[in-house]
Structure 1
């Protein structure tokens, strides 16, 4: 297998302040590029914070010019970034929880959260997922938070040939142990790398756990030590994965 470097961006989002959050994302992208990262994954709704009450007001079409600074930076750095944003795929339809894939080649792809948490239906509609990312010999499947709580989701990803499962999440302190046990189990069961990018602090009234992490079939590769902002990086060389945390 070729060399590959992945990272989870553990960020702090400012509620509803998309311009400020974009600037912080740009900082993370530059820092990740300096570390040789090729694919950088941000938490669920990273560009707005997890703010369902603001979602209808803030929702954009995926091609909206508000994302232009991020798309241009991705091309400049030759880095693919997966960012979280409420989206509308058409004016007359509801708001979806989107994970937007800003390609190093200038491309744009959209993944929409398939499984909503109880209560999210007041602000969002369920999405249809999205295509896996093709990366040389690698196939990277995306998930947004509650998606991974349905065992069929990672199983379908594995059966479709994915060897990497990247989840954009909001995991609270109370849910961290159970949720990360699931993710680590998926890595072992499906023989996939599992990456989890979590918020590094409070958002939407939730006390987030931070501790973003990456696992392989043998267990933990790397994790953030707690809350706050960090990059959690995993690098594959010669078929072997190593990891590290970088504070931002």
Structure 2
């Protein structure tokens, strides 16, 4: 989807957030409930766009992908769709999806649940490591959608380690680049440097939502974050925990941030 880039109006505030949370392996129903609580907490703080980590609905459990493939009408997504509509917020949640090509392995998806009741899907474009044994790659070099009034390029974890992915999103009009991820302590340094570089080089805001605890055999570092257009780090979670990482663009176009701890969900 190509979107002509428009500079945001200085008079239109925007509040976005990363939902840094822990997922129970394979327990979609329980994870949905966690998503709903986080969405309610975000709505209470005026969030318009809430992004969850990679495979947040199942956990990063690659062998379980085939058993949890979702579609737009799936019962598991119904309460989240209703919440998005009721709260007037766009949710981006991670879950398996049908492949881009019939007959292939499942895709690692980012499900976009709009405040208007719409459902859209972005499939991870760049797989890495053992993912290729369990998943198939998406076929879009970039997907840019207008979310909460902002042209937003969607990414899933390893997508953001490929500079051509962020470049394609910027060329397609993205003013915001939003990634759901699972990043470990070892990977966080180089990957966060790349994300900051995209904010600087493409003059777009960059939001990453990381897992709040271990998943799929990986130990997440947490530290979900937002970099403002130009590359300034606005806010980052201090570590691995359950929290909301909020970024707000005020009427003066200056970004500010806040971390809201939600330890009761950990």
1:1-248 equivalences in 2 (<5 Å) = 1=9, 2-89=12-99, 92-129=103-140, 131-135=143-147, 138-216=150-228, 217-238=230-251, 239-248=253-262
Decide whether the 8 Å contact of 1:199 with 1:208 is kept in 2.
yes
CA distance in 1, matches of 2:21, 2:177: 20
Deviation at 1:58, TM superposition (A): 1.4
How far 1:204 sits from its partner (Å)?
A: 0.2
Supply the RMSD in Å over aligned alpha carbons: 1.4
Aligned length: 248
Change beyond 3 A, Cα 1:103–1:226: same
Deviations 1:121-158 (A, max 9, x none): 10000012463121476311100011111110101111
Does structure 1 conserve the Cα–Cα contact (< 8 Å) formed by 2:49 and 2:148? Answer: no
Task: Give SS of 1:175's match.
Answer: helix
Aligned partners of 2:15, 2:118: CA distance in 1, in Å? Answer: 20
Once residues 65 and 21 of structure 2 are traced to their aligned partners in structure 1, the CA distance between those partners, rounded to angstroms, is: 19
SS at match of 1:225: coil
* Cα deviation, residue 80, structure 1: 0.5
Q: Secondary structure at the match of 2:76?
A: helix
Cα distance between partner residues in 2 of 1:168 and 1:122: 21
Contact kept? 2:52, 2:209, Cα under 8 Å: yes
TM-score with structure 2 length normalisation?
0.90
Greater CA deviation, 157-166 or 36-45? 157-166
- When residues 97 and 135 of structure 1 are mapped into structure 2, their CA distance, relative to the original with a 3 A threshold, is closer
Provide the TM-score with structure 1 as the length reference: 0.96
Q: Give the secondary structure class of the aligned counterpart of 1:30.
A: helix
Moved more, 111-120 or 133-142: 133-142
Indicate the SS of the match to 1:179.
helix
